[in-house]
Amino acid sequence: MNTTADVFLESLRKNPACPHVVVAWGEEEYFRKAVGRAFRQRAFAPGEEPTEWSFQKDFQMEALGEAINTMPFFGGGNWVVIEDPRVLTEKAPARKTGTKGKGKKVTPLEQFTELLSDVPDYAYVFCLCTKLDKRQGFYKAMSRKAVVVECPTLRSYQLQPWLRSQADQYGARFTPDALNLIQEYASAADTVPLLFLQQEIAKIALYAGERKLWQAEDVAQMFSQLPEISGFALGNAVEERKLDKVLLLLKEERKNSGSDGITGLAMRLFASLRRLLQVKEMVKQGARQDAIASTLKMHPYAVKLAMQHSNYFSEESLQNGMVQLARLTADSRQGGRTWSRLEEVLVTLVGRS
């Protein structure tokens, strides 16, 4: 069976049946860990201590077979975890042909597939891998005989259901403004680090205490302490053309990041201006908010803000700002007066009437 992490987790909550083999693949570590934790909890009764086996990357198939098939001495079961098995990414050796009377030699991948296709009732196998080739016989066999769970990364516009589920765990909920603010923060990244967000939400729960309605102010209080968010705050001040705030935040960035942080900051600012320019051009062509959100893969609230902020700039000023930031990024490896140059670029962009 093929499924996604959210569907699999929900099915484990509702269905008493438990598979014996689960393959979790994808780049989102949060989902992979959540799938493994839920799988183990369902496989073994509370207080039951299974015999644990762990295999990483390179291992002997004989040892894996022993871990899966050896019945525990004191009852219970076997819990076998396999992380990023190299056999799934290695190129299979070419078979020798023309050897009459001799059987074909079984490849390591075929051995691995066979072991996970025939797991005894007392064993539970959890295989984690970042990538999985759907063309492989392993993927096809596991799709038939086990549960293959995809754990994809999320974009900021996909976050709200996940954020609500996190708040539910504390018996709380976010206000719409709080949800929108988190999505604003997250939109600065190509993909959202869910483990990082989970840690910050735990801090919000601690900060809010008995209050179960979490406000935008609660979000800002926790996230504003993070270096990643101070960079976002600077970009937001640039978009809003608040020069005094830009200069203050830029000073803080320089103090906290030093010479090493300017490249990443300039790249984030470049991405921010590019997004404003894209939105401005689409509005000029008559596109509506929902169409822009769909095309640019942005949350509707972020599009609303970008439409508002894009009115503060001409297309020419945005293009010039992007060119200057690109040059600054390219030159930043040479050192020199990069921070003062960045200040000049932002003053020209934000202070222009």
pLDDT in tens, 50-59: 999 999 998 9
User: In this structure, is the dihedral angle defined by the CA atoms of residues 13, 15, 20 and 23, taken in order, positive or negative?
Assistant: negative
CATH 3.40.50.300 is held by the domain 2-92+106-150 = yes
pLDDT at residue 336, as a whole number: 59
Tens of pLDDT along 117-160? 999 999 999 999 998 888 888 999 999 999 999 998 888 778 88
In the numeric block, the tokens 């799938």 are attached to 35
- 24 - beta bridge partners? 128, 149
Confidence label for 43 from pLDDT (cuts 50, 70 and 90) = very high
Cβ 224 vs Cβ 233: under 8 Å: yes
With cut-offs at 50, 70 and 90, classify the pLDDT of residue 332.
confident
Residue 262: pLDDT band with limits 50, 70, 90? confident
CATH class of 241-353: mainly alpha
Q: Determine the CATH number of domain 162-225.
A: 1.10.8
pTM: 0.63
Q: Which of 52-61, 93-102, 195-204, 262-271 has the lowest mean pLDDT?
A: 93-102
**Domain ranges in the chain with CATH number 1.20.272.10:** 241-353
- The yes-or-no verdict on residue 275 having pLDDT over 70 is yes
CATH 3.40.50.300 range(s) for the chain read 2-92+106-150
At 78 the three-state DSSP class reads strand
Q: Is the pLDDT of residue 101 over 80?
A: no
